Chain A
Amino acid sequence: MSLKVEGLYKSFDGNTVLNNINFKVNKGEIVTIIGPSGAGKTTLLRAVNGLEDADKGSIEIDGDFLCKNNVEGIEYCSKKQNKSIRKKVGIVFQSFNLFPHMNVMENIIEAPRSVLKMNKKAAAEKAEALLYDLGLETKASAYPFQLSGGQKQRVAIARSCALDPKLICFDEPTSALDPEMREGIANIIDDLAEKNMAILIITHDMAFAKRVSHRVLFIENGKLIDEGKKDNNFSDISSKRVLNYINS
């Protein structure tokens, strides 16, 4: 099990954003959470990445608890544990959040150097291999502003992968891409899953979700309301609301 979320609640100013969320992502599995804007997708992804604290519930990443329930509500792991969990989970942000003053290589080796304490040569070799896999071998010394949206996204993927995470999250991976490049990112995500990484995607792009996911979960008003599996060609989706959303 790479990610297990149980009984997760979160509200902002009395407004419930996550309402008893339960799901798992296995090794090598691609799970997409889909739903309308404001359904709680982003908050959920941020909670899994420790960017937002939940109010109740547990998040378990590769056997370690980022947070779990205690008598008072919720307990977050210690700073030290947090550091080790950090290495297990990566995220590719919607806006990528590359560091603009660093070139592609520097962006990728920053964390391996300062967090994993790798030496420069080893970190650079690893980065070169990642760039090669992602078709960016000629871009190592380019700066983010010189790259297209799709290239930036691949640099962000390489930056995440450089820490060998067990789980990679994608926030709206198709939003910066033209239609032709969607297949490219879908292939990259397939490859990551084949390397046994767990993948969690949030999107409102149903066509993409169907193309790439093993399972699709539907979220609305902070609740997971339905689930479709690729094995069943997503025919197991039963809720009318969801069918309307998909077909609209």
Chain B
Amino acid sequence: MAYINSLLPSLISGLTTTLEIFIITLLISIPLGVVVAFGRLSNIKVISKTIQSYILVMRGTPLMLQLVFVFFGLPYIGIALDRNTAALVAFILNYAAYFAEIFRGGIDSIEIGQYEGAIVLGLSKVRTITKIILPQVIKRVLPSVGNEVINLVKDTSLVYVVGLGELLRAGKIASNRDASLIPFVAVGTIYLLIVMLLTEGFKRLEQRYSYYK
């Protein structure tokens, strides 16, 4: 126990970085994903094709490669970002693509009759999207979004490639130094606790939307 206590300061410092990446990525990539989803569904070919290519690149290459590219590659074209910002940019762009595909599926799954019901009542397009379509989309995509959010918790461990000290890296350093597996057990437990909290959170959210079918 004393040993674990001695690990805590470095693990907590790593956890802070992990949570920072996690929270900021979610806060930006989810709304961005909604916008991208509508762009992907746009009737304007240029927009939907551009967005399709973006989604292809983001889903078609490893996130780790994207991190490396943003941090080490972009300076060659004059965009130098600090480690934190580079990691966030890569994560946000990557996750927005995945969220966009989830939302697109959700938007597509809403029956055409819902749109027509809104049209014949004379509701504006904005009102139709915000009051009629999106609330129903949220209910349908919650399980998939939950999956993706849980993935993100674990994906944050990739930021070590740009030299950020996150939770897993803190554990690895301690493990190498002390020739012990206990730091990894501690790290694994922390990830598990976070995911348990998120799972519970999503369960409650789904319950909140269960008032209708």
A residues with a Cβ closer than 8 A to B are 49-51, 83, 86-87, 89-91, 93, 95, 97-101, 110-111, 114-115, 143-145, 159, 163
Looking at B16-24, B61-69, B128-136, the stretch in contact with chain A turns out to be: B128-136
Task: Say if the beta carbon of B113 comes within 8 Å of chain A.
Answer: yes
Assuming the contacts A93-B117, A110-B131, A143-B212, asked whether A101 and B122 have C-beta atoms less than 8 A apart, the reply is no
**CA–CA, A91 and B119, complex, Å:** 11
> Chain B contact residues: over half helix, strand or loop, or mixed?
helix
B residues with a Cβ closer than 8 A to A are 111, 113-114, 116-117, 119-124, 127, 131-132, 135-136, 139, 211-213
> Chain A contact residues: over half helix, strand or loop, or mixed?
loop
Assuming the contacts A100-B136, A143-B211, A143-B212, asked whether A115 and B120 have C-beta atoms less than 8 A apart, the reply is no
B111: chain A residues at CB < 8 Å are 97
- Within the complex, the shortest CB–CB distance from A91 to chain B, in Å, comes to 5
A163 is contacted by which of B122, B127, B136, B211 (Cβ under 8 Å)? B122
B122: chain A residues at CB < 8 Å are 83, 86-87, 111, 115, 163
Interface pair A145/B213, CB less than 8 Å apart: yes
When C-beta atoms are compared, the residue in chain B nearest to A98 turns out to be B117
Interface pair A50/B119, CB less than 8 Å apart: yes
For the complex of A and B, 3 pairs with smallest distance between CB atoms: A97-B117, A86-B122, A111-B121
- Within the complex, the shortest CB–CB distance from B128 to chain A, in Å, comes to 10
B213 is contacted by which of A50, A86, A97, A100 (Cβ under 8 Å)? A100
A-B contacts, 16 of them at CB < 8 A, read A50-B120, A51-B119, A83-B122, A86-B120, A95-B113, A97-B114, A97-B116, A97-B117, A98-B117, A99-B132, A101-B212, A110-B121, A115-B121, A143-B213, A145-B212, A159-B121
B131: chain A residues at CB < 8 Å are 110, 114
Interface pair A111/B113, CB less than 8 Å apart: no
- Within the complex, the shortest CB–CB distance from A99 to chain B, in Å, comes to 6
When C-beta atoms are compared, the residue in chain A nearest to B119 turns out to be A51
Interface pair B120/A49, CB less than 8 Å apart: yes
Assuming the contacts A101-B136, A145-B212, asked whether A114 and B127 have C-beta atoms less than 8 A apart, the reply is yes
- Within the complex, the shortest CB–CB distance from B209 to chain A, in Å, comes to 8
**CA–CA, A144 and B127, complex, Å:** 20
When C-beta atoms are compared, the residue in chain B nearest to A83 turns out to be B122
Interface pair A101/B123, CB less than 8 Å apart: no
Interface pair A93/B123, CB less than 8 Å apart: no
A91: chain B residues at CB < 8 Å are 120
Interface pair B123/A114, CB less than 8 Å apart: yes
B127: chain A residues at CB < 8 Å are 114
